Structure 1
């Protein structure tokens, strides 16, 4: 991995397993896009003494060449799957991958054509 990676944990202690998972995701993004300028990941750990929310939140800031920033700051307030930190990390990087693909597509000038015209002829019996 060549990208400078900074991982921080808010409200909890660092996890070597999550650090390894995040590193794998960054390597995947490098293969997808090429060079990333930097990547910062913030894992918000739910506080144990609060009963209001036991869900993890993962924010990602990725800088790409050409002063392009990708920010992922989605936090689900009602999806219990985010109680699993692995799911929260995987979901955040899935979103980052989708945004990077979209930006690369736009840079190439590719345009989605949702309503492509299809030429059709009807076979009608001759009178």
Structure 2
């Protein structure tokens, strides 16, 4: 992986398994979209959930050329799938990939633009 990757664990001890999963997901993202200049991932267990083991929050912040950024952050609410740390990481990176796809289309100018306003008059010249 060539893109600098920073991983931060908040309110939970550092885990080699989660770190490896994040590195693999970031590497996959880099292969998909090689123009990333930096990636910061925050793996967080919200306050008060130390003993229960979830739900986990994963935030992905990606920097791209031209000062563009992609930020993925989502508070999982009552969805019990986010109690699984692997699901939380995979979901965040799936969202990041989708956002990067959208951003790449804009950069390649493949997105339809709104129609330009056409001034019309009701008077017809005879």
TM bucket (normalised to shorter chain) is 0.7 to 0.9
Unpaired runs of 5+ residues, structure 1, are: 113-127
Q: Shift in Å at residue 66 of structure 1?
A: 1.3
Q: Secondary structure at the match of 2:74?
A: coil
| Counterparts of 1:57 and 1:88, CA distance in 2 | 7
CA offset digits 1:82-102 (Å, max 9, x no partner):
000000000000000000010
Residue 82 (1) aligns with residue 82 (2): yes
Using structure 1 for the length normalisation, give the TM-score. Answer: 0.81
**What residue is the counterpart of 2:123 in the other structure?**
none
Using structure 2 for the length normalisation, give the TM-score. Answer: 0.81
**What residue is the counterpart of 1:37 in the other structure?**
37
Q: Shift in Å at residue 79 of structure 1?
A: 0.4
CA offset digits 1:95-115 (Å, max 9, x no partner):
000000100011111136xxx
The within-5 A match list for 1:1-127 is: 1-46=1-46, 47-49=49-51, 54-111=54-111
Root-mean-square deviation over aligned CA pairs: 1.8
* Structure 1 stretches of 4+ moved >3 Å: none
Q: Secondary structure at the match of 1:35?
A: coil
Unpaired runs of 5+ residues, structure 2, are: 113-126
More moved, 25-34 vs 89-98 = 25-34
